[in-house]
């Protein structure tokens, strides 16, 4: 594959797209939604090929769930695109403006990046979300999905590219990298002056690859080693619900909780209840000695001993590490040591402790009395997202419409010279 030619085509398309009207872009995104629903049968046929290959390869049930599409999930993708189309277009928005003492009028205005390369693994919905958000913000997009979702991504890219062309926008604005060759990926992320931004969505291996090879700007969407801390002032019934939801609702996604931290004062009252619920849902638990002691005779035989490696692991599966801590400070220290800066939660009815947690925990999203599973651009009201950024430049948290724009200064004078 001639990736340089592909990226240059996207660059040319981005220049046209940057000046398109909001109404034309919105029409294209709505056409994408309509086409997804119209061609659901084809999409599911191709997805079935990926699912069969994934089973043969031995992918976990959680990873297969990330990969799987059905009619409801295709409808959800279409609904997401309609929400995106209905949102205000950030391009051209005046962020701020002022007049200088020399009489210059200065406006800081939102503009597209240009060409955004999105690199992702076994999540076919990202194909649609990335393309829709980029079209809405006047960016061309280069899509490079993982090999496990190859057939699903290919048909989705075909469907949405056709929809964009049907709306009168350049089809080259969406480019699908139809190869699994890592050398091609390495060349893509080195195209200075052509690719303006890379957004990866994957694990440590992908991040390490980009750190080694990328020469263009990258916004890293890091892994999600997320925690739930149950404080001594927690409502224990609510704590059980939040813990189970954070771990079990979709264990293969980046905002699922991987470690449960429990205040020593409520360990004996809380741990038997939550362990029973987690084990009923087939969650494998890795526990410290204090957790075993708190469980006493109610400790299930299947419990395994926790190690530092368990606390550092993003399982993406029905597995969870558990630790009893002395107080909120020890919980914060644990999160600081092992967390990846994604989503962290405390369950407490003590406002002072909750405030301490939110102030001290360094993460893209910090929750008080709510599940970590809410970290999602659509849930936050952003329509959709490409990824969750765990870095601090240029954006942090869900990468949605505004995060896919840069800014420029428009300066108007009346003949002033310096």
Residue matched to tokens 């905002």: 255
The mean per-residue pLDDT over the stretch 259-276 comes to: 98
pLDDT value at 96 more than 90: yes
Cis peptide bond upstream of 394, omega within 30: yes
The mean per-residue pLDDT over the stretch 343-370 comes to: 98
**Distance, CA of 268 to CA of 349 (rounded, Å):** 19
Quote the mean pLDDT of the chain.
95
Where residue 43 falls among pLDDT bands split at 50, 70, 90?
very high
The mean per-residue pLDDT over the stretch 389-405 comes to: 93
Instruction: Supply the pLDDT for residue 234.
Output: 98
Residue matched to tokens 């638990």: 285
What is the CA angle 153-67-115, rounded to 5?
40
pLDDT value at 19 more than 90: yes
The mean per-residue pLDDT over the stretch 296-323 comes to: 94
Instruction: Supply the pLDDT for residue 252.
Output: 87
Instruction: Supply the pLDDT for residue 72.
Output: 97
Cβ contacts of residue 199 below 8 Å, gap of 6+? 116, 117, 118, 119, 130, 218, 219, 221, 386, 387, 399
Instruction: Supply the pLDDT for residue 308.
Output: 97
Cβ contacts of residue 18 below 8 Å, gap of 6+? 91, 111, 112, 114, 138, 139
Mutual orientation of helices 125-136 and 22-38 as an angle, nearest 10°? 160
Instruction: Supply the pLDDT for residue 358.
Output: 98
Cβ contacts of residue 417 below 8 Å, gap of 6+? none
- pLDDT, tens only, 174-186: 999 988 888 999 9
Give the least confident one: 80-89, 310-319, 382-391. 382-391
- pLDDT, tens only, 119-172: 998 789 999 999 999 999 999 999 999 899 999 999 999 999 999 999 999 999
Instruction: Supply the pLDDT for residue 342.
Output: 96
Give the least confident one: 12-16, 188-192, 298-302, 343-347. 298-302
Where residue 62 falls among pLDDT bands split at 50, 70, 90?
confident
Smallest CA-to-CA distance from 149 within 42, 251, 33, 66 is with 66
Percent of the chain topping pLDDT 90: 89
Instruction: Supply the pLDDT for residue 181.
Output: 87
**Distance, CA of 161 to CA of 167 (rounded, Å):** 10
Where residue 39 falls among pLDDT bands split at 50, 70, 90?
very high
Instruction: Supply the pLDDT for residue 372.
Output: 98
**DSSP states along 336-359:** HHH--SSEEEEE-S-HHHHHHHHH
Query: Would you say 162 and 348 are in contact if contact means Cβ atoms under 8 Å apart?
Result: no
Count the neighbouring beta carbons within 10 Å of the beta carbon of residue 70: 12
Q: Which sign, positive or negative, has the C-alpha torsion 375, 139, 405, 115? A: positive
Structural domains in the chain, CATH included, are: 3-221+386-412 (3.40.605.10), 226-374 (3.40.309.10)
Instruction: Supply the pLDDT for residue 203.
Output: 78
Q: Say if residue 209 is exposed, middle or buried (CB neighbours under 10 Å; 0-12, 13-18, 19+).
A: middle
pLDDT value at 222 more than 80: no
Query: For the chain, percent helix, then strand, then coil, each to nearest 5?
Result: 45, 20, 35
Smallest CA-to-CA distance from 135 within 107, 164, 159, 176 is with 164
Smallest CA-to-CA distance from 175 within 139, 121, 221 is with 139
The mean per-residue pLDDT over the stretch 324-349 comes to: 97
């Amino acid at each position: 594959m001639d990736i340089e030619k592909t990226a240059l085509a996207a660059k040319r398309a981005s220049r046209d797209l940057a000046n398109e009207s909001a109404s034309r872009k919105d029409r294209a995104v709505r056409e994408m939604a309509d086409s997804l629903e119209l061609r659901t049968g084809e999409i599911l046929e191709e997805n079935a090929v990926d699912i069969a290959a994934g089973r043969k390869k031995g992918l976990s049930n959680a990873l297969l769930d990330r990969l799987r599409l059905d009619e409801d999930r295709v409808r959800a993708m279409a609904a997401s695109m309609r929400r995106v189309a209905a949102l205000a277009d950030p391009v051209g928005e005046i962020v701020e403006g002022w007049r200088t003492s020399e009489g210059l009028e200065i406006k800081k205005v939102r503009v597209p990046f240009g060409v955004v390369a999105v690199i992702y693994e076994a999540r076919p919905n990202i194909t649609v979300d990335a393309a829709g958000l980029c079209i809405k913000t006047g960016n061309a997009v280069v899509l490079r999905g993982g090999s496990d979702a190859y057939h699903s991504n290919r048909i989705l890219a075909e469907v949405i590219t056709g929809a964009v062309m049907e709306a009168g926008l350049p089809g080259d604005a969406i480019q699908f990298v139809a190869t699994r060759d890592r050398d091609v990926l390495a060349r893509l992320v080195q195209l200075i002056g052509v690719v303006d931004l890379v957004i990866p969505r994957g694990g440590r291996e992908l991040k390490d690859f980009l750190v080694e090879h990328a020469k263009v700007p990258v916004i890293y969407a890091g892994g999600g080693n997320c925690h739930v801390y149950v404080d001594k002032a927690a409502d224990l019934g609510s704590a059980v619900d939040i813990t189970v939801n954070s771990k079990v609702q979709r264990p293969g996604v980046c905002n699922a909780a991987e470690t449960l931290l429990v205040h020593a004062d409520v360990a004996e009252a809380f741990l038997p209840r939550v362990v029973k619920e987690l084990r009923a849902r087939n969650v494998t638990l890795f526990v410290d000695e204090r957790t075993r002691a708190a469980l006493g005779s109610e400790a299930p035989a299947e419990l395994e001993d926790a190690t530092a490696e368990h606390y550092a692991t993003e399982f993406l599966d029905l597995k969870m590490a558990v630790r009893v801590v002395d107080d909120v400070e020890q919980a914060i220290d644990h999160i600081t040591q092992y967390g990846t800066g994604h989503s962290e939660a405390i369950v407490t009815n003590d406002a002072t402790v909750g405030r301490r947690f939110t102030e001290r925990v360094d993460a893209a999203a910090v929750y008080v009395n709510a599940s970590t599973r809410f970290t999602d651009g659509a849930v936050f009201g952003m329509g959709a997202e490409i990824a969750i950024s765990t870095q601090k430049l240029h954006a942090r948290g869900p990468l949605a419409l505004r995060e896919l724009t840069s800014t420029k200064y428009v300066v108007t004078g009346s003949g002033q010279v310096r």
